């Protein structure tokens, strides 16, 4: 049986492990909870509109959601800052080892958690094992009435029924930026592109960039701020840093 | 009941019936297999080999291959730029549909031949930039009339080449053999 000291040793080892490549910083004090990121993400990534009936069963599909929490007892209820929650692109993800089809794998090149839709057989083990509860499952082929198909993003696969999906850190934008940079014979510049949620955020609460580059804005924010990574104690090595109460 | 059926099938007439049914099933299957190996019907019997023989580069009609994900199929305006100066265009029966399309201003509905599934994000530019020539995947167009696929574009075909081109370079292999390079 593992003792407390044993656990501390594993934590230490995990924190010394190599960090990710792409990371995000979310300032909860600036976030107004306007849901612009949620809408932008759904449009960028062809996320289906589930409808009220299935949402009632807890089958709503979002790659990013705004979590709200309350403090205190009625009538002195105080709302804590809004908390945008999406896939944390863990360095040691709990979703990966449970997939029997190897549909959710760790990208060696981009250090992201990938969801390979054509491999997914829909066991939903990954979603049940995700401590952040950020994966959503296509319970049906959701209707996309005209003219909605016209706004589908051609760079992103349209998922069908029985497939798990989650935030990809807009990997299609990463690839596009890398492709453009390579064609022009240069490296990808920090701030050259960003994710759909960060782009849409009117308060600029979301910052996206390279965490392995100490010069990038994200790295600077992490270095000088007082950020927390959610459920870090589980050893998941998340790549999203949250700022609150600063 | 079943015994009576077997008895009837054992007599000459029954054997002939069995043979006919077997032949019918076999020929339908063979025809089905044959159709999958044919290039689709195109609105114009476009002869690739003739155009290549005139020295026209692939990128002249499919310029997207060097610029972005999709190589593109030219509109009739591009065809007409050359063809309106060719006397044969006015008289040829095979070219009559082109003339009709240009005069009525309706697009030619070409049927794409080389396609990958929706869950594959293919980018022509990266492959052209890596020094791949068109014929490596699309076959020798100097011998083809209507474009046909020399091979099935499945993952084995892509990955074989990806692993081969990475060679000993581990970082390149990580990138080229990564699921997220093509599937997202």
Residue B157 φ then ψ, to 5°: -65, -45
Residue A94 falls inside a structural domain: yes
A174: how many CB neighbours lie within 10 A of its CB?
Answer: 21
What does each C-alpha distance from A50 to A120, A127, A140, A141, A159 come to in angstroms?
A: 20, 18, 9, 9, 13
Helix axes B12-36, B2-10, angle to 10 degrees: 90
> By the CB < 8 Å criterion, does A168 face chain B?
yes
pLDDT digits over B137-179, tens only?
888 888 887 777 777 788 999 999 999 998 888 889 999 999 9
pLDDT digits over A75-126, tens only?
899 888 999 999 999 999 999 999 999 999 999 888 999 999 999 999 999 9
Which residue shows structure tokens 């003792």?
A3
For residue A103, what is the nearest residue in chain B, using CA coordinates? B179
> By the CB < 8 Å criterion, does B129 face chain A?
yes
Query: What is the nearest CA distance from B183 to chain A, expressed in angstroms?
Result: 6
What does each C-alpha distance from B81 to A214, B44, B46, B52 come to in angstroms?
A: 54, 17, 16, 17
Residues of chain B with pLDDT under 70: none
Task: Kindly list the residues from chain B whose CB atom is less than 8 angstroms away from the CB atom of residue A118.
Answer: 117, 119, 183
Residue A4 falls inside a structural domain: no
Number of domains in chain A: 1
B165: how many CB neighbours lie within 10 A of its CB?
Answer: 15
Residue A117 falls inside a structural domain: yes
Residue A12 falls inside a structural domain: no
Comparing CB atoms, the residue among B119, B129, B174 nearest residue A109 is B174
Residue A2 falls inside a structural domain: no
For residue A11, pLDDT beyond 60:
no
Q: What is the ipTM of this complex?
A: 0.79
Q: What is the mean predicted confidence (pLDDT) over A34-57?
A: 94
CB pair distance less than 8 Å for A117 and B183: yes
CB pair distance less than 8 Å for B178 and A116: no
Residue A114 falls inside a structural domain: yes
Residue A186 falls inside a structural domain: yes
CATH number, residue A223: 3.30.70.20
| A-B Cβ pairs (cutoff 8 Å, strict) | 52
Comparing CB atoms, the residue among A108, A179, A182 nearest residue B174 is A108
In chain B, residues 156-175 whose CB comes closer than 8 Å to chain A: 174-175
Residue A7 falls inside a structural domain: no
Q: Max Cα separation, chain B?
A: 76
Domain holding A92, by residue range, is: 17-243
């Amino acid at each position: 049986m593992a003792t407390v000291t044993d656990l501390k040793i594993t934590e230490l080892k995990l924190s010394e492990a190599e960090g990710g490549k792409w990371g995000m910083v979310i300032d909860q004090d600036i976030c107004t909870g306007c849901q612009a990121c949620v809408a932008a993400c759904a449009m960028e990534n062809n996320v289906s509109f589930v409808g009220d009936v299935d949402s009632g069963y807890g089958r709503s599909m979002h790659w990013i959601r705004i979590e709200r929490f309350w403090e205190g007892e009625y009538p002195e209820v105080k709302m804590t800052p809004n908390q945008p929650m999406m896939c944390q692109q863990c360095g040691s993800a709990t979703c990966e080892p449970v997939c029997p089809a190897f549909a959710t794998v760790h990208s060696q090149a981009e250090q992201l958690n990938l969801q390979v839709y054509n491999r997914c057989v829909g066991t939903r083990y990954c979603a049940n094992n995700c401590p952040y509860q950020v994966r959503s499952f296509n319970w049906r082929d959701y209707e996309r009435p005209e003219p909605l198909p016209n706004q589908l993003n051609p760079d992103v696969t349209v998922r069908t029924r029985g497939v798990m999906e989650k935030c990809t850190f807009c990997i299609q934008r990463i690839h596009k930026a890398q492709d453009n940079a390579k064609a022009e014979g240069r490296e990808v510049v920090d701030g050259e592109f960003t994710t759909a949620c960060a782009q849409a955020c009117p308060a600029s609460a979301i910052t996206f960039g390279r965490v392995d580059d100490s010069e990038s804005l994200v790295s600077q924010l992490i270095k000088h701020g007082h950020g927390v990574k959610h459920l870090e104690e589980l050893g998941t090595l998340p790549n999203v840093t949250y700022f609150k109460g600063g | 009941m079943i015994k009576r059926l077997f008895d009837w099938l054992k007599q000459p007439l029954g054997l002939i019936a069995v043979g006919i049914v077997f032949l019918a099933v076999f020929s339908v299957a063979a025809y089905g297999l044959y159709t999958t190996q044919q290039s689709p019907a195109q609105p114009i019997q476009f002869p690739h080999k003739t155009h290549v023989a005139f020295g026209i580069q692939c990128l002249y009609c499919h310029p997207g291959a060097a610029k972005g994900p999709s190589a593109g199929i030219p509109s009739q305006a591009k065809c007409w730029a050359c063809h309106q100066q060719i006397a044969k265009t006015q008289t040829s029966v095979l070219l009559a549909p082109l003339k009709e399309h240009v005069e009525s201003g309706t697009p030619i509905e070409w049927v794409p031949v080389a396609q990958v599934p929706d869950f594959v994000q293919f980018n022509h530019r990266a492959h052209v930039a890596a020094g791949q020539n068109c014929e490596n995947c699309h076959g020798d167009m100097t011998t083809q009339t209507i474009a046909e696929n020399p091979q099935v574009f499945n993952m084995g075909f892509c990955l074989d080449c990806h692993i081969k081109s990475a060679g000993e370079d581990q970082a390149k292999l990580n990138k080229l053999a990564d699921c997220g390079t093509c599937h997202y």
